Each structure stands twice: as structure tokens, then as C-alpha cells.
Amino acid sequence: MRRNDKAAVRTAVVVLAVVSAAAALYFTGWATIAKNVAVLAWRGNAVTNLARRTPFTPPSDGSVSVQRLEAYLQVCDRIKPFGDKIDEWEAEHSAGRRVAFKGRAAGLVEAYLHAFHLALEQQQMGPTEFAWIEGRMRQARGPASEAAPAANRALYAKHRDRLEGSALGPHARRIALGFAQ
């Protein structure tokens, strides 16, 4: 065999191997998982950068203003549908057991983080303020013996239906609150 023929055969074998590997990745779903994981990291970094750009210092009296509660509710309304999908996936795939590989959920989390980032930016809010308001409203919902300011209890009572209707499930809540600094 001549040198050019050997090079052509090697090139054909390499091309065939690459095409076979790409087809295997595509048809088994691993290509989508790899893409989702890469995009997920990018979305997570975007929310982390937003947290750095939007520092938050709670008011000294610990009260949530009506305007900031409204902004918080707008964020919740926008991300709840995405968060519900994550919580449904978690309930379906980890019923009583720990799931080691959640690559298939990466696409759901990526969409959730994208919506979360856009909603926070639109409301001029950072993840830390979001987490603080969520904590204050959770505290205001609790027993009267807790140290929630009366203003927060009154605000919660006035907006109870909307707050309960837009409450995030456990997994979506953990993701959102995880970006607070």
C-alpha cells in the first residue's frame, strides 16, 4: 500500500470514529446532558455575579416594605412554574432514595436559573435580598412568639393568599436561596 493510501485509510477511520461517537452521544442523550450541564454552570455564574453586583443591607427595623414585597412576589410568580417542574422531577426520580446523577435535571435547573436571573434583574433585586424577604415572610407566618416585626406580620396577613400561592417547593427554594451572600 502506498503512503497516500495509508493516510486516506487512517483519515477515514478517524472520521468514522468521530461520527460514531457523536451519533452515540446524540442517540443516548449524553450530548444533551453535557450541553445542559455546561449551560447550567454558565447560568449559575450569572446569578452569582448578580449577587456580587447587588449587595443588600437589611433595614435596621427588619421590616419588609410593600414595594419590595411586591418585587419579591413578581420574581416568585415568574420562577414558580420552572421551580414546580424541578420539584416534580425530584419527586418522580428520587422517591425515598438519593439520586447520584441528576444530569437529566440540568436542563430544568438551567431554565429555572435563567428565569430567576431575569426576574431578579427586572425587579432590581439580588439573590440576597430575595432570600432575606423570603425569610422575613416565613418568620411572619410562624407563631406569634417569634421575633417577627409587627409590620411584617401585617404585611404577611394582607398578602397571605398571594404569598402562599407563589411559594416555591423545597428543591426550587433551596436553589434560589443558595445564591444569597
User: How large is the average pLDDT for residues 90-111?
Assistant: 70
Q: DSSP secondary-structure letter at 63?
A: P
Which has more confidence, 3 or 50? Answer: 50
Question: What pLDDT score does 25 carry?
Answer: 47
Question: What pLDDT score does 93 carry?
Answer: 75
User: How large is the average pLDDT for residues 85-108?
Assistant: 72
Dist CA 76 CA 13 (whole Å): 53
Tell me the three cell numbers of residue 173. 427554594
- Would you call 167 helix, strand, or coil by DSSP? coil
Domain ranges of the chain: 29-177
Tell me the three cell numbers of residue 51. 449577587
Nearest alpha-carbon partner for 61 in 152, 160, 155: 152
DSSP assignment string, 66-99: HHHHHHHHHHHHHHHHHHHHHHHHHHHH-TTS--
Is the pLDDT reported for residue 122 higher than 90?
yes
Label residue 27 exposed, middle or buried (CB < 10 Å: 0-12, 13-18, 19+). exposed
Dist CA 179 CA 165 (whole Å): 23
Predicted confidence band at 27 (pLDDT cuts at 50, 70, 90)?
A: low
Dihedral sign for Cα atoms in the order 164, 167, 171, 173: negative
